[in-house]
Structures are given as structure tokens and as C-alpha cells.
Structure 1
Amino acid sequence: EAARADAQRRQLARLRRRARAGVLTLPFVFSPALGVPDVAALGAELARRL
């Protein structure tokens, strides 16, 4: 788990360094598959941040 979190942090840092646009992050969804409510919640969070 710690190794995965570290890899994700490194990927995010690399993306932020190289992206020409701002990078937004969304909350992690602790579910093996995204359902409609999960996607709706992520969409609402994204809309709020934009």
C-alpha cells in the first residue's frame, strides 16, 4: 500500500511538472468498480473545483 501511494505521488509530481495546464486531483474511491453514484460524486466534486 505504501509503495503504491509513493508511486502515485511521484506520477502526480511528474504530471504537474510537465503538464501545460493545471492538474486537479479527485478523492480516491474505495471501491473495486465505479458505479453511477461514484461517478456522480466525482463529477460534482470536479464541477465544484472548476
Structure 2
Amino acid sequence: MSPPQPRLQVKLQFQDQVVKLGCMLQSLQSMETGLARSQKMLQTWLNLL
């Protein structure tokens, strides 16, 4: 058995985790922008009332 094999697997798993984290951060950012947009819309609605 070759020793570098498990290390490669760990590296791949780590990369997968990094990708997942990146996706989570992106979705959080888009949620934040969406919240900001809805807040602005609410503000304009309140100003109209």
C-alpha cells in the first residue's frame, strides 16, 4: 500500500469542504442583499403610506 493515498483523500475532502463553505458564504451574501432590497422596498412602502 502506498502512504500518499490517504493524504490525497484528506486533501480532496478538505477541498470539498472549502467549496461547500464558499457556496454557503455566497448564498448568505445573496440573502443579505435580498434582505437589504426588501428593507428598502418596505421603507418606500412606508413612505408612500
Superposition TM-score, scaled by structure 1 size: 0.38
Mark the structure with the bigger radius of gyration.
Answer: 2
Pick the structure with more helix per residue: 2
Q: Which has the higher contact order (CA 8 A, sep 6+)?
A: 1
